[in-house]
Amino acid sequence: MGGDGPRGVVTIGRRAIAALYFADALSMAELDNAATSPTLLPVGPKKDLAKDRTRRGEMLYNDGSMCFQQWQSCASCHPDGRVDGLNWDLLNDGMGNPKQTKNELYTQWTPPTMVTGIRKDMHECNRAGLIHIQFVTRPEEDVHCFDAYVTAMKPVPSPYLVNGQLSERAKRGETLFKKAKCADCHTTDSKGPNGEHLWTDRKAYDVGVGTGTEAGKKFDTPTLAEVWRTAPYLYDGRALTMEEVLTVANPKDAHGETSKLSPEEIKDLAEYVLSL
């Protein structure tokens, strides 16, 4: 259609019009005359990509042609910088130990990165993604563009909130979050530069979930921001719901003290965490 990032198409008679997200344009093609190039209709002023690292980063992040075999982009597994809900065996931490895709929200403020904390920060992690997943080496400037795109990500408010506030159930859960010792590691005072809640002490613990190659290993405490949209949970996605994280996936109270909570209290705590 004459530009990158088609996001929608409509046909009117024998004419097709596509919205090209990355070309900032509409593209108009005559269906009976495939030989002629489509006409591009600009939508707003043209962006200067040399000056706009965030926009260029978003384009590269979605560009499958950049990978060695030209079929996979970062967004293939991280749609909108978030998660596909699948386990992947990446080469960052060796082979035969698949992990779930992680949300990139706030990764710039929660070093180290990856489940095992194997990368010291976002920048190293973004560069490693190019080498170990896309199998390419790219200019350092491209990595800065990824950094800018990821850093510009804003959390989407949880649908569990009622008029932007915690529900009655979630309010009860907030008290339990401290009582069950969740806040020991998912600290309530860890904040980004503008007061963003990060919910992690940035330390690694063995919370009793590792099995097989990961048995007894420490994992980096993840942020709980936007956790409502990233099920399934834990490093291998074994917990389909938040309640499973707090019950079947925590039989020995190694991941917070949840075994003595009543079924209603588990629901309260789950709703609170899903509101973050």
> From the CB of 99, what's the least distance to ligand HEC, in Å?
4
Among 234, 265, 266, 275, binds ligand HEC (CB under 6 A): 234
The CA distances from residue 18 to 5, 6, 65, 73, in Å, are 10, 6, 21, 22
CA angle in degrees (0–180, nearest 5) for 253-259-265:
125
How many other C-beta atoms are found inside a 10 Å radius of the C-beta of residue 250?
21
What is the pattern of x (binds ligand HEC, CB under 6 A) and - over residues 52-81? --------------------x-x-xxx---
Q: How far is CA 31 from CA 7, 11, 69, 82, in A?
A: 19, 9, 31, 36
CB atoms within 10 A of CB 56: 22
182: amino acid identity, one letter: C
CA-closest candidate to residue 270, choices 209, 207, 228: 228
Closer of 30 and 257 to ligand HEC (Cβ): 257
- Segment near ligand HEC (CB under 6 A), from 14-22, 31-39, 163-171, 221-229? 221-229
Which window, 21-29, 44-52, 160-168, 181-189, contacts ligand HEC (CB under 6 A)?
181-189
Q: Cβ distance 206 to 216 under 8 Å?
A: yes
Radius of gyration of the chain (CA): 22
Options 15-23, 27-35, 39-47, 184-192: segment touching ligand HEC (CB under 6 A): 184-192
Q: Does 126 participate in binding ligand HEC (rule CB under 6 A)?
A: yes
What does residue 166 show for φ and ψ, rounded to 5 degrees? -60, 140
CB 89 within 8 A of CB 95: yes
Q: Among 93, 243, 268, 271, which residue sits at the site for ligand HEC (rule: CB under 6 A)?
A: 93
Question: Total residues at the site for ligand HEC (CB under 6 A)?
Answer: 53
Report the C-alpha gap between 83 and 105 in whole angstroms. 10
Q: Does residue 109 touch ligand HEC according to CB under 6 A?
A: no
* Interface residue with ligand HEC, options 1, 25, 59, 122 (CB under 6 A): 122
Give the interface with ligand HEC as residue ranges (CB under 6 A).
Answer: 72, 74, 76-78, 88, 90, 92-93, 99-102, 104, 107, 110, 113-116, 122, 125-126, 129-130, 133-134, 146, 180-182, 184-186, 205, 207, 209, 219, 221-222, 224, 227, 230, 233-235, 245-246, 255-256, 258, 269, 273
